Amino acid sequence: MKEIQSIIKAFDTAQFDERNSALVTVVHLEGSSYRRPGARMLVSDDGAMTGAISGGCLEGDALRKALLVLNQQQKRLVTYDTNDEDDASIGVQLGCAGVIQVLIEPINKDDPNNSVELLRKAVAKRQASVLVTVFSLQNRKGYQHGTCLLVEEDGTISGNLKDDTLREMLLDDVKLSFREQRSSFKNYTSDQNEITAFIEYINPAVSLILIGAGNDVIPLVSMADIMGWETTVIDGRPSHAKKERFSSTCQVIISKPENVLEQISIDQQTVFVLMTHNYNYDFAMLKALVKTKAKYIGMLGPRKKFDRMQDDMKSEGIKLSDVELSRIYSPVGLELGAETAEEIALSIISEIKAVLAGKMGGSLRHNMNPIHSTNNLVISDKNIS
């Protein structure tokens, strides 16, 4: 999400400076790579680059090809085979062992459905969306549809795909992407051509709601900002809940705990961390939050604090179910040996990321499976009739 936001900002700057831009997107992968399909980079005609498609090895060559695409004003599909570590045209010993397909698209700033404008629409609202990029591995030098279709969760459809038959088939597969909440590759075959669609499921940015505005919240807000997350700080103390204490993008709300949920919206990407250092405030918030669908509720403090809260809830006739308990993370954070406020913030951010990704948060060296799971990239074939 942060990369998409940066690309949109860079595109707007390029437009203001009257410069042309090209969007470079990883659209397909066989094997392993530093970046996955959906990684993007914007290149302007002065050579400026925003975003990344690799760990730095492919960007130089992609820049040269993007400048050529801008000159010719024609989309181009480029293959990088990182299995060959002696290939000097790519870089020195990538060590990724994968075949990466990269689509380079010149951006027509006058087209309201150009690829960057579709990205802008995809992240404009707090809702999921599916972005479709169509290309031909069989006919690399032929016409590439490119980033051509966006469907938002509210049903809004945008794009410039002219093939009505293909469009209807894509929309069926987009519905499946929404249901399964994951991306996929789809191959469509006709008598004339074989094309592939990268159907990309895009979640809204993580919304981090921090209950508490103490000094230890400041580094947590800063780290979330680096991640591209949306942050909201809520506290009942006007002396602490001051906008100037936090980053410019952070929303700050002064509120009593019983009024908090009236002022925010909760979706699948909303997470909470309770860190007011005030037992009664945190207790009131926890009782309110367990009734919501928030998948992550972290609470700063020792385990005995949460044990006391459970006892106090029982005395009020409240017994937490196993499902409710599974969403509460107390003590909050991964076990990193954190001591300082900054280290604790890193521990909390890391745990939230792991939970939302469905990971355990352990060391990668103990994982015998591929770093990037392919479970979210379903591959299937269809005939275009």
State the Cα–Cα distance between residues 155 and 162, nearest whole angstrom: 19
Q: What is the 3-state secondary structure (H, E, C) of 64-105?
A: HHHHHHHHHCCCEEEEEECCCCCCCCCCCCCCCCEEEEEEEE
**92 band by pLDDT with thresholds 50, 70 and 90:** very low
**271 band by pLDDT with thresholds 50, 70 and 90:** very high
State the Cα–Cα distance between residues 148 and 152, nearest whole angstrom: 14
Torsion of CA 232, 129, 115, 371, to 10 degrees: 80
State the Cα–Cα distance between residues 352 and 356, nearest whole angstrom: 6
Distances (CA, A) of 297 to 49, 286, 315: 38, 8, 22
pLDDT at 364: 81
pLDDT at 381: 67
pLDDT at 91: 46
Least confident of 82-91, 144-153, 185-194, 212-221: 82-91
Comparison of pLDDT for 372 and 6, the residue scoring more: 6
pLDDT in tens, 315-354: 999 999 999 999 999 999 999 999 999 999 999 999 999 9
pLDDT in tens, 178-211: 999 999 999 998 667 789 999 999 999 999 999 9
pLDDT at 1: 80
Per-chain mean pLDDT for the chain: 90
Helix (H) or strand (E) holding 230: strand 230-235
pLDDT at 373: 57
Taking 3-state DSSP, the helix, strand and coil percentages for the chain, each rounded to the nearest 5, stand at 30, 25, 40
Comparison of pLDDT for 192 and 150, the residue scoring more: 150
pLDDT at residue 155 greater than cutoff 50? yes
Read off the pLDDT of each residue in 240-258 and give the average, rounded to a whole number.
93
- Residue where the block lists tokens 């699948």: 268
DSSP 347: H
Torsion of CA 311, 313, 315, 321, to 10 degrees: -90
- Residue where the block lists tokens 């999400």: 1
> Nearest CA to 11 among 37, 57, 52, 44?
44
Give the DSSP per-residue string, 132-162. Answer: EEEE-SS-TTS---EEEEEEETTS-EEE---
pLDDT at 93: 46
Q: Hey, what are 142's tokens?
A: 């032929």
pLDDT at 88: 45
pLDDT in tens, 288-303: 999 999 999 999 999 9
pLDDT at residue 86 greater than cutoff 80? no
Read off the pLDDT of each residue in 79-90 and give the average, rounded to a whole number.
65
| Burial class of 97 by CB neighbour count within 10 A (0 to 12, 13 to 18, 19+) | middle
**45 band by pLDDT with thresholds 50, 70 and 90:** very high
- pTM for the complete prediction? 0.87
pLDDT at 171: 95
Question: Percentage of residues in the chain with pLDDT exceeding 70?
Answer: 90
Read off the pLDDT of each residue in 84-92 and give the average, rounded to a whole number.
51
